[in-house]
Structure 1
Amino acid sequence: MADAASRLTALAEELLGEPLPVRIRAWDGSESGPPGAPALVIRHRRALRRLLWRPGELGLARAWVSGEIDVDGDLYEVLDRLAALLWERGADAKDSVHPVRDPKVRAFARGLLQVAGPWPPPAPPPEEVRRRTGPLHTRRRDKEAISHHYDVGNDFYELVLGPSMVYSCAYWEDGGTLEDAQRDKLDLVCRKLGLKEGDRLLDVGCGWGSMAIHAAREYGAQVTGVTLSTEQAAFARKRIAEEGLTDRIEIRVQDYRDVRDGPYDAISSIGMAEHVGTVRFREYADDLYALLRPGGRLLNHQIARRPEKDESAYRADEFIDSYVFPDGELAPVGRTVATLEEAGFEARDVEAIREHYALTLRHWVTNLERHWDAAVQATSPGRARVWRLYMAASALSFERNRIGVNQILAVRPQQGGASGMLLRARDWRTAPAG
């Protein structure tokens, strides 16, 4: 079809009722949209067929992973311009007419079909998670989900995360490098936990061992780290041996539900609870409570979503669920705190650090783009495109307060209710005896 870009722009603007904020460059060489704006490049009409057969984020994601759509210009600017249409309009439209019955949507779909052609799209890109069966968050299903995300090659993660090998929100106290900010985050966690020489620390979801190494090397803790990723465990053990800390750190490939060697003095859970799931979160809280000694502290570092007016209507992001974090679930921070307290914990501090995560993600995207060819070689073109899109979109989600991240410090009360905490706010030392 000649001038596909103009046709697509007209269809989109008729549906939206306002000018399209980006240019469209189509497979036939045509281009349309506001002069000087970044361009959404549609390399093949198959991208439109994917959107027709699977409307919404998943259809667009499949086209992106396949390389059938791309951007010409700054990726953040394109996502930011489209966010006002996709996110804010979507939020405002929740109580409006159902899309299938909306005449504008039906007209848009008919027009898109004429441009795209009637043929079905090819099979989804191979990076998509295989169809999952059985109940959510069983040990088998959780292990498969973790393997999908983390066992993609340590070389790839080294390129993205940098030398710190920390895959969670950094803490930007005084500027500096990503490595400085990740070190500051690990140290903040250790101070909140009140770690001291000889304390037993359980690091749940220990990743590549960075928290365990910092706690053992800087605070003299005896650390047990558990992960479901065999590749993470192998990498962590190698690092620990190189640091000469094998007498202080044990790394296990083990489900947190199978840890039985408490009590521990402290537990860190950094970026792991998102994998637990709503149906298992009380069990998670109960298990960690049972593993702590009275007076022991838990630091739960977890991404949170904004609460829904109707919580029963919450659905996980299709793109994230299919390509990034299978079976991952986000909960509002209030629900997380309430569940921890229902299990017996006393919540002592909640620190919101969502802006820190936006900055962290932007550094990861920069690392990926700087080492793009090596990242593609370490995984695949599709996988690298998935990570670039999800990290850039996530950075904007944190900046726009669509999602947040919080460090929740909780304590298992001692007999009589004592917490062992000092009266001064945000002084993370242990109270003196007596």
Structure 2
Amino acid sequence: MTSEQRIAPLALPDTRARRVVEDLLKDSGVTLNGSQPWDLQVLHPDFFPRVLQQGTLGLGEAYMDGWWECERIDQLAHKLLLHGLGERAHTPSERLMYRLQAGFFNLQSKTRAYIVGEAHYDLGNDLFERMLDPTMCYSCGYWKEASNLHEAQVAKLDLAARKLQIEPGMKILDIGCGWGSFAEHAARHYGAEVTGITISKEQAALARERCKNLPVDIQLADYRDLEGRFDRIVSIGMFEHVGHRNYRTYFDTAAGLLDEDGLFLLHTIGSNSSEISADPWINKYIFPNGTLPSVKHIAQASEGRLLMEDWQNFGADYDRTLMAWLGNFDAHWHEIAANYNERTRRMFRYYLSVCAGAFRARDIQLWQVVYSKGRSGRYDAPR
């Protein structure tokens, strides 16, 4: 534990709020001010009413403010989710507010599409370069035969490329290209010509630098503005920003851009539920206006537009990916600490840890789905 984590916890106040929290934690394996690495150490007397009133938003903000500590937040989150506290941690008012917003407004409209780029992806390339591996993949690695993060990310890129059956000279569209990881891989190792789009200025700048001297064109653009035809389309870690009101538009766009004999690979985090919701802390601090699709959402939106050829789930691999990112983040934070504040450090540690716990509990999934237009006969997906 760090010196910060060794701060003596607060003597627990004998209040109704504390007793309610203790009752919620009963049989979860988590003890307030306990000695296990997943136990929650309370450092502020107002922690209990804040969490009860504000749910997951209050819990995350309280950590950012230094109101509580935990050596292994990932294990804490895992235990709480297995105990069934994931749903109960969302307050009725926050659920109602998100449903009203999502019902009356298109939170992921073209005019709002760049918000997440500015809020998260543009935060600083220096931070992401130290957190990620050399491929700059900011999505789940494929750990089937990998022993470290870099091997897992290269394996993920190659798995996607093999599923797409890329051949030299093919024209590839990368929707949500990030820092150019797949574009570079497909151009360098498969001889493809790649057009990549992103809504992040910082991502676009670094992607162009990484892909210089390769047949790669990186554009700052929204997917709804694209034109042309492509042999293959790939979208890795972008669909989470599309929003349920735009799912049909997204698949209409992909179908219209895809060649008649083409293949389209969708790589996305997925929800076990079709309820339209978002974690308020993640929505406020990490991915504004993001929402996770369910199997039903994807199936309904793609039906009649594209033929589903293959569906693979390796969500358990995201746990290892996130923990590897957290290890990198902690190991290299001192190199960039002067560029950020302590609240940002705690925000990222909380985000990476809680998400790792969620994937470990199988509360959320990671899917790779391959589509065609049904014109090219039998399809066999590699694993």
Q: Same fold (TM over 0.5)?
A: yes
Structure 2 distance, partners of 1:19, 1:299, is 42
Structure 1 distance, partners of 2:298, 2:28, is 39
1:226 and 1:253 in contact (8 A); partners too = yes
Structure 1 residues 139 and 222, CA, compared in 2 at 3 Å: closer, same or farther?
same
Structure 2 distance, partners of 1:36, 1:64, is 18
Deviations for 1:305-334, whole angstroms, at most 9, x for unmatched residues?
0125xx3xx421111111111110112123
Structure 2 distance, partners of 1:213, 1:150, is 19
Identity among equivalent positions (%) equals: 35
Structure 1 residues 43 and 226, CA, compared in 2 at 3 Å: closer, same or farther?
same
Aligned match of 2:172: 201
Aligned match of 2:117: 146
> Residue 335 of structure 1: CA displacement?
2.4
Matched to 2:332, the amino acid is H
Matched to 1:76, the amino acid is D
Q: Gaps (5+ residues) in structure 1?
A: 26-32, 101-130, 429-434
Structure 2 distance, partners of 1:89, 1:316, is 11
| Larger-gyration structure (1/2) | 1
> Residue 368 of structure 1: CA displacement?
1.3
2:78 and 2:361 in contact (8 A); partners too = no
Instruction: Choose which of 359, 372, 376 in structure 2 pairs with 1:419.
Output: 376
Higher relative contact order (CA 8 A, sep 6+): 2
Aligned match of 1:341: 303
Q: How many residues align?
A: 366
1:22 and 1:37 in contact (8 A); partners too = no
Structure 1 distance, partners of 2:111, 2:148, is 38
2:78 and 2:360 in contact (8 A); partners too = no
2:233 and 2:258 in contact (8 A); partners too = yes
Structure 2 distance, partners of 1:44, 1:279, is 41
2:37 and 2:72 in contact (8 A); partners too = no
Task: Give runs of aligned pairs for residues 68-79 of structure 1, distance below 5 A.
Answer: 68-71=67-70, 73-79=71-77
TM-score, normalised by the number of residues in structure 1: 0.77
TM-score, normalised by the number of residues in structure 2: 0.87
Instruction: Choose which of 227, 243, 251 in structure 2 pairs with 1:285.
Output: 251
> Residue 164 of structure 1: CA displacement?
1.6
Structure 1 residues 375 and 19, CA, compared in 2 at 3 Å: closer, same or farther?
farther
Matched to 2:237, the amino acid is G
Task: Give runs of aligned pairs for residues 124-135 of structure 1, distance below 5 A.
Answer: 135=106
> Residue 383 of structure 1: CA displacement?
2.0
Aligned match of 2:260: 294
Matched to 1:426, the amino acid is A
Aligned match of 2:78: 80
Q: Residue 168 of structure 1 aligns to a residue in which SS?
A: coil
Structure 1 distance, partners of 2:264, 2:175, is 11
Task: Give runs of aligned pairs for residues 5-404 of structure 1, distance below 5 A.
Answer: 5=12, 7=14, 11-12=19-20, 15-16=23-24, 18=26, 21-25=29-33, 33=34, 38-48=38-48, 50-51=50-51, 54-71=53-70, 73-85=71-83, 87=85, 90=88, 135-241=106-212, 244-245=213-214, 248-260=215-227, 262-308=228-274, 311=275, 314-342=276-304, 344-404=305-365
> Residue 40 of structure 1: CA displacement?
2.1
Structure 1 residues 197 and 10, CA, compared in 2 at 3 Å: closer, same or farther?
closer
Q: Residue 352 of structure 2 aligns to a residue in which SS?
A: helix
> Residue 137 of structure 1: CA displacement?
1.4
1:12 and 1:20 in contact (8 A); partners too = no
Structure 1 residues 228 and 16, CA, compared in 2 at 3 Å: closer, same or farther?
closer
Deviations for 1:336-374, whole angstroms, at most 9, x for unmatched residues?
1331123x2110000111111111111111111222333
Structure 1 residues 412 and 318, CA, compared in 2 at 3 Å: closer, same or farther?
same
Q: Gaps (5+ residues) in structure 2?
A: 1-9, 94-100
> Residue 283 of structure 1: CA displacement?
0.2
